[in-house]
Structure 1
Amino acid sequence: MRYLVVLLFICNSAFFYGQDLPALRVSEKDTASFSPIQKPKPFSKGKVEPEFTIKDYKIISYARDTTFLDTTISIQKEYKYNFLRKDNFELMPFSNIGQPYNSLGVTVKQNTLYPSLGAEAKHFNYMEVEDIKYYRVPTPMTELMFKTTLEQGQLLDALLTFNMTPRLNISLAYKGFRSLGKYQFNEAESGNFRTSATYETKSGRYRLRTHIAAQDLLSEENGGLSNKELQFESGNTSFTDRSRIDVNFTNANNKVLGKRYFFEQEYDLFKKSKDTTRSRENYLTLGHQFNYETKYYQFSQTVQDDYFGDAFVSAITDKANLKTMYNQGYVELGNKTLGILKGNIALYNYNYFFDSKLINASGEEISNQLKGEEITVGAQYGKTIGGFKLNGGIDYGVSGELTGSVINAAASYQLKSGAKATFGINSSSKMPNFNYLLYQSDYVNYNWQNNEVFEKERVNGLLLGLDSKLLGSLSAEYNIIDNYTYFTSTASQEQIDAGEENAAVSPFQEGNSVTYLKIKYNKEFKVGNFALNNTVMYQQVDQTNNVLNVPQLVTRNTLYFSKDVFDRAMHLQTGVTFKYFTSYNMDAYNPLLGEFYIQNREELGGYPLLDFFINAKVKQTRLFLKAEHFNSSFSGFNFYSAPNYPYRDFVIRFGLVWNFFS
């Protein structure tokens, strides 16, 4: 019902803000063109309204990269039409929508100086500051994304953006979903509300962008299958109805809730910029960024379960809280000869806490709070020289216990043929996430304090890239990781056999260096209306102990057909996607922590995933129909997303993305 209310609100808002505005013009040169909404009509005698193209509807990222609304349909749109609305090539979903994703590839590069709350497996759908979009549109624009889920639920992502004046743009968006799932006690739901605004004065010297985000992510947790060999892997037809399969428990839930208030303002002391890159003239800008966020992760269970070991109380309620406030002041100098130089100083306040203190069996007190402030300084530089583009930055912690440093530098060269070569280096140092440093639980074994024991994780890496229409896209990265921090179980074989492996999960740091190599290649071949899109990833880990497990090979290959039909009134796209990854010691999932942990007793993977899809575009509407994992019933019941957590069976899902304008 609440999704219907949001839909009605969006539609009514579009009507309320709709005006007698100029027509949207179609240009043959536009990459994403569509039919005009209305014909131009005169303002008054002798005057004709100006026309707009799709390129006038601009989308601006946190990094200030500007794109325009794209209403085309492509294979990349197919890959991104999912719950996360981004390509999940390196992720392995669980059986239900909105549940965790296991990692098929690892991103070890750190772009932030500060630890996060933790519960990383529950944050895939949590929108961070970098995920919020800002808009600049000439007329109100609405986008609706709808997709079916699994059993009693739907997914809707609705966006409305409009301009109150040409210099003030506002957006309202809500992403909500619910899915019961196929297995017992497997329901998931979430809500992501965000509103953003951009403003600049008539002179353009003062600019402001701001957003508010309120998000909640809830899911029931069943601990996975308790008798997978007999009830799942055997293919027994008595358990084709997955709700009949036994699970470990049916009385636990976890939840992430967060609220964020962000704004950034800039003032040009002299010389207003005339282009988005601001590289063609001299200017001096003062800026200030503010971000305040409160967040908590909660795990609750009505009755203690031996699955997690002994407990202090019978009913479990664990809650980790984090409040942060970030203030940064900066000065940016642009010179058409020297380039762009930016310097900043930042103050970060944090308060990570639990409700009570704890004294363990040894009489040691485990604190209930980590609180403090960090002061950092930084600088960034960018310059374009002919076909070369140079940029780099450094942030360094001068005060505080959590931060170290982040150094990034990159150089790219644009060839006349259109190919682009990239080289980059990065080096970072920071403390692990807060739940590694301190945790309290009603379960006895889930209490620790490591903030004075663990050292800062250090990552040093190299990146090479080549992007060419003729040769394809190739990227390679090599990283050396020190003090790699991870969760694992120290359970004995007897505990594992009794199903109590999760009773002994705790954090550790690896004393030896871990090296990680990742090579990724993408190339599409076209013959007439047929195309074959290929993405292959190779990974290699060199380590003393098995603390970082990834598949050696991951591949995705899509053979598809696309053509305009019905006198070019519809663009049709249909094909089959094959995905495969080699078997490896896939990380196990711990629902109490909301984290994955290392396990080296069971290899999973080595099975194919086949999807059949039919997509179509009619004017501004893109339609999607997919038969997911249609080979599930004849390729063997060994498809797992994590130990004891199967991937989904064959299912048909459909939906659409619809843009309309006022």
Structure 2
Amino acid sequence: MKQLFILVFFLGCLGAYAQFRTVNGGFAGSGVNRVNDSISSDEISVKLSGKTKYTDYKVINLKKRDTIYIDTTLSIQKEYTHNFRRKDNFELLSFHNQGQTFNSLGYNFRNISEFPDIGFNAKQFNYLNIDDIDYYRVPTPTTEIMYKTGQEQGQVLDALFTFNLSKRLNLSFAYRGLRSLGQYRRSLSSTGNFRATMTYSTPKDQYNIRTHLTTQDFTNEENGGLTTESLNNFLSNDPNFTDRGRLDVNLTDSESLFDGTRFYLDHNFKLFNSKDTTNTKNFTNLKVGHKLHYEKKFFTFEQGNVTTTAFGEASKTSGEVRESSDYRLINNQGYLEFNSKYVLGRFRVKANYTTVNYGYDTIYNSNILINKKRLTGDAIALGADWNGRVGNFKVNANALVTPGSGYLAGNHFSGEAIYEKDSVFKVKGTVLLTSKAPSFNTQFFQSVYNKYNWENNFTNIDTRNLGFSFKSKWGNASVDFTNIEDYVYFDTDSLPKQFNGSIAYLKVKANKEFKFFKKFALNNTIMYQNVSSGSEVFRVPEFVTRNTLYYTDHWFKGNPLEVQIGATFKYFTKFRANAHNPLLGEFILQNDTEIGFPAVDVFFNAKVRRTRIFFKIDNISSNFLQDKNYFSAPSHPYRDMSIRFGLVWNWFI
């Protein structure tokens, strides 16, 4: 609620400013599209500055070196991203209620953070990292509202407001709140993501700053899945339990909370640029800069009473359980940057000073001989970034080396080579070489439950990824080869272990849309995966597919309504999917159950001016399947057929 109060306060304060600007006409153009996407070229008539085009409403992700435009068109991609994460969940398998966790159907190793994280990865699918934060540049105050109904009761609302006080100063405020009851007992989700950004540059672009603040919290009631008896009632389709709230669950008084706060700042001062008379063409735009990344994360697990049947023996026989661990990262980076024809673009040298602090405020278990409360460390790292370009060929690379033997020691190198031929096709090759410590919760953990206490001295995980991507008007494809040494995982006994072998992982993904009869289209995405070594600890389905057949047309005289009607078929082959452990906030290996099932969703979407309306029937196929074998994880059924409604609405003041 504190994030919502902050947002309402800022919106109220800024409302007076917006009244000084008047706009006539409309903007036809949800969300955002890339520069080379098809976007409506309607204009906004603004008395303050004359004609304002859709290209003036920019969304900038500087971490990804990507600029896109605010866009209100209706496309099949908008259907895929109309969820509480606002992302395509093709490689994820959701639990039945929105706001819960996801099981993984595929993994992405092209982008790995430079520092070890707190862990509790099952709680972080909706966590917004630095790469997920967008900055804006808009000629008039702009608002976007996304709404979607929840499961049984509840909804999700994502509101964004951004404006420019001048051409050089932009502010944005956004809050995403979710509360959804769910169909099963103890499955309530309540989450919040608050974001505030600012960008500013001086008139001659000599000083630049971009900064953001995020506060995020995710609360989930944890039921531990269905009991054995209830699981049999579900599988046998017992008519007495079509109301899923009648099925018993393993945990009746448990809850988990994950929250985080981040402050990020990147600013630089240009010592001289190409327009300076004292400069030469060989060495331009010399900048000195500083980055600050401060982040705190907390994970808390609570129970009304000790439950030894679920988690084993404990240091006490009764009473409330409340266990909390925290993590703090402070990274200061200084850098020197310049442009030169000798490096074909921009070159940056950088130095980091990083401190990390993880642990507990107290010792929870007196039966275990662990006297330590915290893990701490600091390190100095050196590195460089390079962005070069020759014609249509671009190269981006960054390297960072952290010498020593502490928790932060390691190295990180990533690079990409891109060739783009106008809007016809784009080819990209990527490479990643990284060595870093595993997540902190695998190294050190405490609990009142005796088994869940450990202090490990794992070696660094070495990851090597080689990727290729091809995007064109004919279709898209990607191939990734990943090798992982000393992989750390949670075994079937819920204990973290380090694999002493090598994992070899191949992922091939392709997408192609076929259009026919002008108004019909078939959008196909298929993914093939193979783990040639290490499959005993790293498991994925061999095939994942999504096929959407849909119809698009304009209805009524004057084409005021654009409609999109279709059905999406999703399927993944059976595999021994990981099980969810709520005490750890992690997924663990299991060898007893294979899951894999088809699902069909039906949707009706429409667009009226700047509003996109989404009407969807999830998993309609569950009403026709004789065997109720659809699961997100062992003992956690996927959602039954449900009807949900949503919309995305833009205002341009």
TM-score w.r.t. length of structure 1: 0.91
Distance 1:131 1:88 in 2: 15
1:631 alignment partner, SS class: helix
Q: Quote the residue 1:297 is aligned against.
A: 299
**Match runs of 1:117-196 below 5 Å:** 117-196=118-197
Report the counterpart of residue 619 of structure 1 in structure 2.
609
1:127 counterpart SS class: coil
* Paired positions, count: 632
Deviations 1:370-414 (A, max 9, x none): 011021111111211123222212111124512311111222222
Q: Rate the CA distance shift 1:26–1:216 in 2: closer, same or farther, 3 A.
A: closer
Q: 1:336 to 1:67 in 2, by over 3 A?
A: farther
1:59 alignment counterpart:
59
Amino acid in the other structure paired with 2:530: Q
Are 2:645 and 1:650 equivalent residues in the alignment?
A: no
CA deviation after TM superposition for structure 1 residue 542, in Å: 1.8
Question: 1:558 maps to which residue?
Answer: 548
Q: 1:238 to 1:393 in 2, by over 3 A?
A: same
> Letter of the aligned partner of 2:305 in structure 1?
V
**1: CA distance, partners of 2:68 / 2:404:** 38
SS in 2 for 1:209: strand
Letter paired with 1:604? I
Cα separation, 1, equivalents of 2:606 and 2:14: 25
- Is the alpha carbon distance of 1:426 and 1:626 closer, same or farther for their aligned partners in structure 2, counting shifts above 3 Å? same
CA distance in 2, matches of 1:334, 1:23: 43
In the TM superposition, residue 31 of structure 1 has moved relative to its aligned partner by 4.0
The more displaced of 352-361 and 112-121 is 352-361
Residue identity in the other structure for 1:71? T
- Aligned counterpart, 2:590: 599
The one-letter code matched in structure 1 to 2:483 is I
Please give the alpha-carbon distance, in whole angstroms, between the structure 1 residues aligned to 2:275 and 2:87. 33
What does the per-residue CA deviation read over 1:405-452, in whole Å, with 9 as the maximum and x for residues that have no partner? 1111222222468222222222110010000000001111100001x2
Query: How far did residue 50 of structure 1 move?
Result: 1.9
Whether the 8 Å CA contact 1:359–1:366 is kept in 2: the answer is no
SS at match of 1:444: coil
Unaligned runs of 5+ in 1: 44-48, 491-504
Give the drift of 1:489. Answer: 2.1
Query: CA contact under 8 A between 1:557 and 1:578: conserved in structure 2?
Result: yes
- Within the alignment, does 1:525 sit opposite 2:514 as a pair? yes
Q: Residue 209 of structure 2 corresponds to which residue in structure 1?
A: 208
What's the counterpart of residue 495 of structure 1?
none
Q: Does 1:383 align with 2:388?
A: yes
Aligned to 2:563: 572
Q: What residue in structure 1 maps to residue 32 of structure 2?
A: none
Greater shift in the superposed pair: 147-156 or 580-589: 147-156
Q: What amino acid is the match of 2:300?
A: Q
| Cα distance change, pair 545–532 in 1 and its aligned pair in 2 (3 A) | closer
8 Å CA contact 2:61–2:134 kept in 1: the answer is yes
CA contact (8 A) 1:14 1:142 kept: no
Give the superposition deviation at 1:23.
4.9
Shift of 1:111: 2.7
Residues 10 and 30 of structure 1, relative CA distance in 2, 3 Å threshold: farther
Indicate if the aligned counterparts of 1:151 and 1:180 stay in contact, CA closer than 8 A: yes
Question: Which residue does the alignment assign to 2:286?
Answer: 284
Contact 2:43 2:54 in 1 (8 A): no
- Partner of residue 104, structure 1: 105
1:246-272 deviation digits (Å, cap 9, x = unpaired)? 101210000012111111101111116
Q: What is residue 352 of structure 1 aligned with on the other side?
A: 358
- Quickly say closer, same or farther: Cα 1:534–1:207, change in 2 above 3 A: same
**Cα distance per residue 1:68-97 (max 9 Å; x no partner):** 101111001110001110000000000111
Contact 1:420 1:467 in 2 (8 A): yes
Which residue identity is paired with 1:397? T
Distance 1:309 1:616 in 2: 52
Distance 2:530 2:175 in 1: 40
Letter in 2 for 1:214: T
Equivalent in the alignment of 1:312 = 315
Residue number in structure 2 paired with 1:240: 242
- Offset, 1:456: 0.5
Counterpart among 437, 444, 451 of residue 438 in structure 1: 444
User: What is the letter of the counterpart of residue 591 of structure 1?
Assistant: P
Partner-residue secondary structure (3-state), 1:295: strand
Q: Cα gap change, 1:281/1:613 in structure 2, threshold over 3 Å: closer, same or farther?
A: farther
> 1:7 Cα deviation (Å)?
8.7
Task: Determine whether 1:335 maps to 2:340.
Answer: yes
Q: Return closer, same or farther for 1:414/1:194 CA change in 2, 3 Å cut-off.
A: closer
Shift of 1:125: 1.1
Could you say if the C-alpha distance between residues 601 and 407 of structure 1 is closer, same or farther in structure 2, counting changes exceeding 3 Å? same
Q: 1:24 to 1:438 in 2, by over 3 A?
A: farther
Q: Which residue of 2 aligns with 1:428?
A: 434
Question: 1:273·1:281 contact (CA, 8 Å) conserved in 2?
Answer: no
How far apart are 1:312 and its partner, in Å?
1.2
Deviation at 1:36, TM superposition (A): 5.7
Amino acid at match of 1:660: W
Separation in structure 2 between the aligned mates of residue 358 and residue 650 of structure 1, nearest angstrom: 43
Question: Counterpart in 2 of 1:462?
Answer: 466
* Distance 1:126-1:280 versus aligned 2 partners, 3 A rule: farther
CA distance in 2, matches of 1:419, 1:464: 13
C-alpha spacing 1:459/1:638, structure 2 compared with 1 (3 Å): same
Superposed CA offset, 1:288-342 (max 9, x none): 1101122110001111112001111332111111111110011111124532111
Identify the residue that residue 507 of structure 1 maps to in structure 2: 496
Alignment equivalent of 1:639, drawn from 614, 630, 644: 630
Deviates more, 1:314-323 or 1:635-644: 314-323
Between the aligned partners of 2:282 and 2:84, the Cα distance in structure 1 is: 41
**What is the DSSP-based 3-state SS (H/G/I as helix, E as strand, rest coil) of the residue aligned with 2:481?**
strand
Q: Distance in 1 between matches of 2:499 and 2:105?
A: 21
Q: 1:634 to 1:9 in 2, by over 3 A?
A: farther
Change (3 A) 1:272 1:94: farther
* Partner SS, residue 238 of structure 1: helix
Work out whether residues 23 and 51 of structure 1, in 8 Å CA contact, stay in contact via their aligned partners in 2.
Answer: no
Cα pair distance change 1:364/1:545, threshold 3 Å = farther
Residues 1:432 and 1:253: Cα distance change in structure 2 (over 3 Å): same
Give, in whole Å, the separation in 2 of the partners of 1:72 and 1:601. 46
Q: What is the Cα deviation at residue 360 of structure 1? A: 6.9
Change (3 A) 1:225 1:460: same
Distance between the aligned counterparts of 2:641 and 2:149, measured in 1? 14
C-alpha spacing 1:365/1:473, structure 2 compared with 1 (3 Å): same
Counterpart residue type for residue 365 of structure 1:
I
- Pair 26,82 (structure 1): closer, same or farther in 2 beyond 3 Å: closer
Aligned-CA RMSD value: 2.5
TM-score of the superposition, structure 2-length normalised? 0.92
Q: Which of 413, 429, 438 lines up with 1:407 in the alignment? A: 413
Letter in 1 for 2:496: P
* CA distance 1:374–1:570, change in 2 (3 Å): same
* Aligned CA distance change for structure 1 residues 78 and 597 (closer, same or farther; 3 Å): same
**Structure 2: segments with no counterpart, 5+ residues:** 30-35
Distance 1:223 1:194 in 2: 32
* Aligned partners of 1:374 and 1:400 also within 8 Å: no
Number of the residue aligned with 1:268 = 270
Specify whether residues 653 and 545 from structure 1 end up closer, same or farther in structure 2 by C-alpha distance, changes over 3 A only. closer
Q: 1:186 to 1:347 in 2, by over 3 A?
A: same
Letter of the structure 1 residue corresponding to residue 576 of structure 2? N
- 1:508-529 Cα offsets, whole Å, 9 max, x none, are 0100111000000000111111
